[in-house]
Amino acid sequence: MTGGGISGSHAGKVAVVTGAANGIGLATASQLCQQGARVIAVDINGSALHQKCREISELQIVHDMAGDPADLVAALEKFGEVPQILVNNVGIAASRPFLELDDDVIEKVWRTNLLGPLSLTRSLVRMMIDSDLHGAVVFVSSLHSTSVRRSLDYSTSKAAITMAVRELAAELGPLGIRVNAVSPGDVHSDPAGNPVDDRNREIRQQVIPLDRLGSSSDIARAILFLTDDVSSSYITGADLVVDGGLSTTNWITTRSLRWNGSKTSTHNDRPFAERLGARLSSRLRSDPS
């Protein structure tokens, strides 16, 4: 993962990427470097950040910035850098039923997914404006901003991000700052560390029109598009869905069916798609509304 010199679409720009130690954040940092950007990679896990990013020679690595954006601002000032790109990728989920969530857990998820990124955005946008620079901010949201995931803490924080993007786009647009979101679908962000077995992969792919899981690189390419002042110069307040067509399906229903399918006994040799279609057709016949 080496840089692409000064000839790329993001040549000479300074970009800040949060949650950059792995997955979408790491892929985004790498691709920005390849397109000529000077990237500040941010992650609370400093050791993992250094290990994963050390082959990206253009990276200036800053870690453990999750708690106080002022630390990152101070580091940027030390480097003499003013960012023109901010990718708010960091996010967590408690993945517990609502009745098992307590207020502290919900607050931690919201602080990490929404409040922290908003605070960082405010600080870095002020730097852009003070330096009379135009900029681009991208928040990584989720398809679950508009659909049930059975993870109230996560889904509601992502829904708030989607609305925050629209508000920020309206307010910051006149100042030359574009703000957009990317909403990934079913993304397998760590194939090496967390492989998907063939049966599980087949079940998950059955409900995706493009017939494959998304990758971190798929999402990173969408982020690069939204931070490119040529390709997306007239785009702000948008939520770019990158899901292989998953949102065109009845995926709120099929999500539970596909996971139930992974527990189906092997004697049922009907293709999963056929069984899925039969169940959906039966449901539609019983509920014509």
Q: Is 57 a catalytic residue?
A: no
Contacts of 92 (CB under 8 A, 6+ apart): 108, 109, 112, 113, 154
Q: Return the SS3 of 165.
A: helix
CA atoms within 13 A on the CB side of 5: 1
Whole-angstrom Cα distance, residue 242 to residue 183? 6
CA distances from 280 to 260, 269, 273, 285 (A): 14, 18, 10, 9
Query: If DSSP states are collapsed to H, E and C, what string results for 103-161?
Result: HHHHHHHHHHHHHHHHHHHHHHHHHHHHCCCCEEEEEECCHHHCCCCCCHHHHHHHHHH
Phi, psi at 212, each rounded to 5° = -160, 155
Whole-angstrom Cα distance, residue 276 to residue 201? 16
Annotated active-site residue in 9, 145, 158, 232: 158
Whole-angstrom Cα distance, residue 253 to residue 148? 10
Ramachandran area for residue 273 (φ above 0: left; ψ -120 to 50: alpha; else beta) = alpha
Annotated active-site residue in 9, 142, 145, 216: 142
Q: Is 154 a catalytic residue?
A: yes
Whole-angstrom Cα distance, residue 223 to residue 221? 5
CA distances from 149 to 159, 211, 246 (A): 12, 21, 14
Q: Is 52 a catalytic residue?
A: no
Annotated active-site residue in 13, 141, 154, 232: 154
Write out the catalytic residue numbers: 142, 154, 158
